């Protein structure tokens, strides 16, 4: 079930404020032709548990499940559609297993697991996978921690060696230095994603009020700073020994591999790791509130927020599915009651419902961001009235059909990546002890009745108590819904310290684990076959066949982006795109939304620098109906005044809120300084408050009439249909008529005041956002731009680049730092950036300068040259897997008029390029005396420390204007 959700340790965005969920939204996938032979000989110490194969058209992920003698569960999903493998190891431990006073341990430990093990050096884990052309990460939720990597298929043995070494041979490699460094990194992550982000502390406050003191969900997965500060190395080691045994883990592998060889490797690397303590499933206890709890906070935000949260059941509970249907009725999309009662009438910028589920509890949420003139108390009343409205109308057939269609389509879209299939298998095994959970999911949602939905409403929502939170701008405490009725308690931290000795579980090996396994033979990589066409009215078409899944993804690019709007009318392209996505002359927006949801399809419009893009995603069986809706929106917009007023207000409030985000402010200011006040693309796509306030409906109509036409439009398609079938499907586009404009002249860029610091004050900011850079090369697929990107890779383009290793891994100043070249056909930039702890702002700039200047003067090493050649040379194995990836590849070809052989040309350049050539590019492009610096931070904390670093300092307001 797709639910509005956020990562438990990720970014809290304006648009996603529902509770964390352990469930994934990507489910089913392509079925491989490879199947396990019934006579497959198993290595000693591995037993087969079960197999699931595909039958007819049933939605399943075929797999074979095994178990090792030490309790490790192994799930194998062969899929030879692409030359890659995805490896996931999930441990059944998250913040829900933590003790009072030791919050954040599960997530902290996730960080530590990337710091090397007995046979893997510090920072080597990232280096080996990146050099292999792979990608990797980890994540922590309330209930599980997983580590995963996607690599070319020839790297599988190496991945198993890496994962086994940190499962069984980790503790001896943990040092106080690594511990302290990662403690600082986690604190920086909290600062960047919670303390320094608008609405970032919402969930922490709600959870404290929702759950009893001491309940493990009463704190966030990121934990409290004071708990992180109190942690010691022994605590961490004991956490590992308690929870990180193979009997509490599931190893899932999907992709192109030989099953017999994989089983042998798993036995070799994991078989000698001893079992850990036995782990029982956590015990579920119903959460109830004795009364409504009103809480509030003042935050650095522009839009007040009303947020209501009800405790319900737990993940996989029989009532979870009907509660999800209730969520959809109340607050999902333009068919929902909250949209009708809050957003459509202009009372709220956004309003949604959510039902996030975890192992011990689910939370049903209703929220809205109020518009000027609407109080939070009024939004609360509307929310409660909407509940009463549901009670009187009940669930309807359309509601049930919409939700079921969303379930099935979501599962089929999940066919598109091996990582999606693997993560789903791992989650089903971890929380149900059965990887084959898709059939049950389909059945439980298809079995929901209208009576079920009303029953769960009356049981869990009607007359039940909730946490009601108000978040208001600083200094506006009088705007909360009502005075707080619940106060944050002083946390009761137990005094007793665990003084027991560590009981180690040494692993055994009959081979030398210090030897890095060799890579297998490089996989054969081929770019997608493409076809070209042109419609009668001039639309250029570029397509590729993706036979793995019965879906179609389409991107129609109309040259009607920000470059077509004047500086006086910034935001017009974006507002026009939003209006085209509303009602048409033939249908209401609600009717169109209802149809799309029942088809399981997505249709949206968005404006960027050059294009306004119509994005379409559909099950191929529903393509004709989906295209009919998309074409109706494109060619028959109604341009209603009420829609315009509402969307204009939403865009303005969104711009105001963006100014509260330090990272957004820093990036927008940097771009404006580089490309000048006379070029519209130098500004945010949504424009500025001052310009959007002046736009009129006639402006939108005129922009549409002048720029929305088929000439110079481009259509990119990835589908399981062939080119003839695609041409037939899109034939309706040939009736589209309209004007097309030429690309306007780019105004001269301003002369940079190199060496200048541009400073924007953000009072009380826990972090400072830094941008250092200049104008640079325009895009060129096989020219100097491509080569400069290769040059930068070791400096700031990879996780284990010099910049990130210095600022994050060595200094602990930041959650992440990098540098990059970015360009298109009319502009380019070089930029180094990071969000850093406030007290390290000045030294972070010094470190950036040191790394950039040293790289420019001395260049890269022979080892770094080989690293970039290996990493870039092998990553194409994972670049053409999903329809979205294929679409991006086609878009690059279309935008820059490339032949698909440009990838071969790039590979030839990569193979032949020398260290001297790359070092010469570093000397040419990495000149600090040509760069400017932008800092957004707390002036009271950091400004004085910056003064000695700059001869010229200009203070700006959040709009980029000099003070």
Q: How far apart are CA 96 and CA 358, in angstroms?
A: 9
Q: DSSP letters of 407-469?
A: HHHHHHHGGG-HHHHHHHHHHHHHHHS-S--HHHHHHHHHT--HHHHHHHIIIIITT---EEE
Closest CA to 34 of 253, 259, 252: 259
Q: What pLDDT does residue 527 have?
A: 86
Q: What pLDDT does residue 35 have?
A: 39
At 547, is the secondary structure helix, strand, or coil? coil
Q: How far apart are CA 963 and CA 953, in angstroms?
A: 11
Contact 21, 365 (CB under 8 A): no
Q: What pLDDT does residue 25 have?
A: 25
What average pLDDT score do residues 206-225 get?
96
Pairing mode, if any, of strands 362-370 and 467-473? unpaired
- Minimum mean pLDDT range among 23-27, 437-441, 832-836: 23-27
Q: What pLDDT does residue 112 have?
A: 92
Q: Going by C-beta distance under 8 Å and a sequence separation of 6 or more, which residues neighbour residue 472?
A: 296, 297, 298, 299, 301, 304, 305, 376, 479, 480
Contact 203, 95 (CB under 8 A): no
Q: Going by C-beta distance under 8 Å and a sequence separation of 6 or more, which residues neighbour residue 783?
A: none
Pairing mode, if any, of strands 767-775 and 602-607? unpaired
The residues of the chain that CATH labels 3.30.830.10 are 99-135+162-249, 293-415+427-479, 530-655+676-735, 756-956
The answer, yes or no, to whether residue 19 has pLDDT greater than 60, is no
Q: What pLDDT does residue 151 have?
A: 95
For 189-222, letters b (16+ CB in 10 Å) and e give bbbbbbbbbbbbbbbbbbbbbbbeeebbbbbbbb
Q: What pLDDT does residue 28 have?
A: 25
Which ranges constitute the DSSP H helices of 72-175?
105-112, 124-131, 156-168
Confidence class for position 959, pLDDT limits 50, 70, 90 = confident
Q: How far apart are CA 85 and CA 62, in angstroms?
A: 15
What CATH code would you report for 293-415+427-479?
A: 3.30.830.10
Query: How many degrees, rounded to 5, is the angle at CA 128 between CA 127 and CA 131?
Result: 80
Q: What pLDDT does residue 524 have?
A: 78
Average pLDDT value over all residues in the chain: 92
CB neighbour class for 749 (10 Å; exposed up to 12, middle 13-18, buried from 19) = middle
Confidence class for position 6, pLDDT limits 50, 70, 90 = very low
The answer, yes or no, to whether residue 695 has pLDDT greater than 60, is yes
- In order of 390, 501, 518, the CA distances from 118 in angstroms are 59, 21, 19
Q: Which residue has the higher pLDDT, 57 or 432?
A: 432
Q: How far apart are CA 781 and CA 792, in angstroms?
A: 16
pTM of the model: 0.91
Q: What pLDDT does residue 39 have?
A: 62
Q: What pLDDT does residue 496 have?
A: 65
What average pLDDT score do residues 491-495 get?
86
Q: How far apart are CA 690 and CA 960, in angstroms?
A: 13
Q: What pLDDT does residue 3 have?
A: 38
Could you tell me what percent of the chain has a pLDDT over 70? 95
Q: What pLDDT does residue 38 have?
A: 52
Contact 77, 66 (CB under 8 A): no
Closest CA to 307 of 256, 262, 363: 363
Q: Can you read off the two tokens belonging to residue 585?
A: 């002359």
Q: What are the pLDDT digits (tens) for 271-303?
A: 999 999 999 999 899 999 999 999 999 999 999
530-655+676-735: CATH architecture? 2-Layer Sandwich (3.30)
Q: Kind and range of the H or E element at 905?
A: helix 902-912
Beta pairing partners, 135: 150
Confidence class for position 520, pLDDT limits 50, 70, 90 = confident
Q: Can you read off the two tokens belonging to residue 346?
A: 């202009």
Q: How far apart are CA 206 and CA 214, in angstroms?
A: 14
The answer, yes or no, to whether residue 32 has pLDDT greater than 70, is no
Q: How far apart are CA 167 and CA 70, in angstroms?
A: 12
Q: Which residue has the higher pLDDT, 861 or 877?
A: 861
Contact 583, 630 (CB under 8 A): no
Q: What pLDDT does residue 495 have?
A: 78
- In order of 54, 75, 249, 564, the CA distances from 278 in angstroms are 34, 21, 12, 64
Pairing mode, if any, of strands 714-719 and 767-775? unpaired
At 828, is the secondary structure helix, strand, or coil? strand
At 227, is the secondary structure helix, strand, or coil? helix
CA 523: distance to chain centroid?
29
Task: Identify how many contiguous H helices and E strands the chain contains and give both numbers.
Answer: 31, 24
Q: How far apart are CA 73 and CA 81, in angstroms?
A: 25
What average pLDDT score do residues 152-171 get?
95
Q: What are the pLDDT digits (tens) for 469-479?
A: 999 999 999 99
What average pLDDT score do residues 846-853 get?
98
Closest CA to 329 of 410, 442, 406, 413: 406
Q: What are the pLDDT digits (tens) for 401-427?
A: 998 898 888 888 887 899 999 999 999
The answer, yes or no, to whether residue 546 has pLDDT greater than 70, is yes
The answer, yes or no, to whether residue 391 has pLDDT greater than 70, is yes
Q: Going by C-beta distance under 8 Å and a sequence separation of 6 or more, which residues neighbour residue 842?
A: 942, 945, 946, 948, 949
**How is domain 99-135+162-249 classified at the CATH fold level?**
Cytochrome Bc1 Complex; Chain A, domain 1 (3.30.830)
In the chain, the N- to C-terminal Cα span, in Å, equals 50
Domain 756-956 bears CATH identifier 3.90.960.10: no
The answer, yes or no, to whether residue 812 has pLDDT greater than 80, is yes
Query: For the sheet containing 348-357, what is the strand order?
Result: 293-299, 467-473, 305-311, 362-370, 348-357
């Amino acid at each position: 079930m797709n639910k509005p959700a956020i990562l438990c340790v990720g970014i809290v965005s304006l648009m996603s404020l529902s509770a964390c969920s352990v469930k994934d939204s990507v489910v089913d996938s392509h079925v491989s032709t490879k199947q396990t032979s019934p006579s497959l000989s198993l290595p000693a110490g591995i037993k087969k548990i079960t197999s699931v194969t595909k039958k007819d058209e049933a939605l399943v992920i075929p797999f074979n499940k095994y178990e090792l003698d030490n309790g490790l569960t192994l799930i194998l999903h062969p899929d030879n559609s692409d030359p890659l493998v995805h490896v996931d190891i999930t441990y059944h431990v998250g913040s829900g297993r933590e003790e009072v006073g030791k919050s954040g341990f599960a997530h902290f430990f996730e960080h530590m697991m990337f710091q090397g093990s007995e046979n893997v050096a510090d920072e080597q884990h990232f280096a080996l996978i990146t050099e292999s052309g792979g990608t990797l990460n980890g994540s922590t939720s309330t209930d599980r921690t997983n580590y995963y990597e996607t690599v070319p298929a020839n790297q599988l043995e190496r991945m198993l060696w890496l994962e086994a070494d940190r499962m069984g041979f980790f503790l001896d490699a943990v040092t106080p230095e690594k511990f302290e460094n990662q403690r600082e990194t986690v604190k920086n992550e909290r600062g960047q994603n919670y303390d320094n982000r608008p609405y970032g502390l919402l969930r922490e406050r709600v959870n404290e009020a929702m759950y009893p003191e001491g309940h493990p969900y009463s704190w966030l997965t990121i934990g409290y700073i004071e708990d992180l500060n109190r942690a010691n190395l022994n605590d961490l080691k004991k956490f590992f020994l308690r929870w990180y045994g193979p009997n509490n883990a599931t190893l899932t592998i999907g992709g192109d591999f030989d099953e017999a060889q994989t089983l042998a490797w798993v036995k070799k690397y994991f078989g000698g790791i001893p079992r850990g303590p036995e782990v029982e499933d956590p015990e579920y206890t119903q959460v109830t509130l004795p009364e409504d709890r009103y809480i509030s906070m003042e935050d650095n935000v522009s839009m007040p927020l009303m947020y209501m949260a009800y405790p319900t059941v737990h993940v996989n509970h029989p009532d979870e599915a009907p509660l999800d249907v209730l969520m959809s009725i109340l607050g999902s999309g333009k068919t929902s009651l909250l949209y009708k009662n809050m957003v459509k009438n202009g009372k709220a910028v956004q309003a949604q419902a959510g039902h996030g589920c975890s192992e011990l509890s689910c939370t049903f949420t209703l929220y809205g961001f109020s518009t000027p003139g609407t109080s939070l108390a009024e939004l609360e009343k509307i929310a409660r009235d909407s509940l009463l409205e549901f009670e009187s109308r009940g669930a309807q057939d359309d509601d049930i059909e919409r939700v079921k269609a969303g379930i099935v389509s979501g599962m089929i879209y999940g066919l598109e990546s091996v990582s999606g299939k693997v993560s789903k298998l791992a989650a089903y095994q971890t929380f149900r002890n059965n990887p084959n959970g898709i059939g049950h999911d389909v059945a439980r949602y298809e079995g929901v009745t209208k009576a079920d939905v009303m029953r769960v409403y009356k049981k869990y929502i009607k007359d039940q108590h909730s946490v009601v939170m108000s978040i208001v701008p600083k200094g506006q405490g009088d705007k909360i819904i009502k005075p707080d009725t619940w106060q944050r308690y002083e946390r009761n931290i137990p005094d007793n310290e665990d003084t027991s000795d560590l009981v180690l579980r040494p692993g055994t090996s009959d081979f030398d684990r210090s030897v890095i396994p060799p890579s297998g033979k490089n996989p054969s990589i081929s770019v997608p076959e493409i076809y070209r066409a042109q419609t009668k009215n001039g639309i250029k078409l570029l397509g590729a066949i993706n036979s793995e899944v019965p879906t179609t993804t389409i991107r129609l690019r109309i040259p009607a982006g920000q470059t077509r709007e004047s500086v006086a009318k910034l935001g017009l392209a974006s507002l026009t795109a939003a209006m085209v996505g509303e009602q048409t002359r033939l249908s209401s927006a609600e009717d169109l939304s209802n149809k799309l949801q029942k088809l399981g399809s997505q249709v949206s419009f968005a404006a960027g620098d050059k294009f306004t893009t119509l994005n379409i995603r559909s099950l191929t069986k529903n393509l004709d109906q989906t295209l009919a809706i998309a074409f109706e929106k494109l060619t028959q917009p109604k341009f209603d005044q009420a829609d315009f007023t509402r969307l204009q207000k939403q865009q303005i409030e969104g711009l105001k809120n963006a100014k509260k985000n330090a990272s957004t402010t820093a990036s927008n200011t940097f771009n404006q300084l580089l490309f000048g006040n006379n070029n519209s693309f130098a500004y945010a796509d949504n424009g500025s408050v001052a310009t959007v306030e002046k736009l009129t409906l006639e402006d939108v109509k005129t922009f549409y009439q002048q720029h929305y036409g088929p000439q110079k439009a481009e259509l990119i398609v990835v589908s399981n249909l062939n080119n003839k079938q695609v041409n037939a499907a899109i034939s309706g586009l040939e009736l589209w008529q309209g004007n097309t404009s030429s690309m306007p002249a780019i105004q001269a860029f301003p002369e940079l005041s190199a060496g200048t610091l541009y400073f924007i004050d953000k009072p009380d900011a826990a972090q400072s956002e830094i941008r250092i850079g200049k104008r640079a090369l325009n895009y060129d697929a096989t020219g100097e731009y491509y080569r400069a990107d290769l040059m930068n890779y070791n400096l700031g383009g990879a996780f284990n680049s010099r910049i990130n290793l210095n600022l994050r891994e060595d200094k602990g100043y930041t959650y992440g730092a990098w540098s990059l070249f970015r360009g298109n056909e009319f502009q380019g930039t070089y930029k180094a950036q990071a969000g850093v702890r406030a007290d390290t702002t000045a030294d972070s700039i010094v470190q950036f300068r040191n790394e950039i200047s040293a790289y420019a003067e001395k260049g890269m090493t022979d080892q770094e040259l080989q690293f970039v050649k290996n990493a870039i040379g092998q990553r194409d194995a994972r670049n053409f897997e999903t329809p979205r990836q294929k679409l991006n590849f086609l878009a690059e070809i279309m935008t820059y008029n490339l032949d698909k052989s440009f990838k071969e040309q790039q590979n030839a350049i990569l193979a032949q390029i020398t260290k001297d050539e790359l070092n010469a590019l570093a000397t040419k492009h990495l000149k600090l005396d040509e760069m400017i610096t932008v800092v957004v931070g707390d002036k009271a904390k950091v400004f004085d420390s910056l003064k000695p670093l700059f001869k010229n300092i200009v203070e700006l307001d959040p709009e980029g204007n000099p003070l």
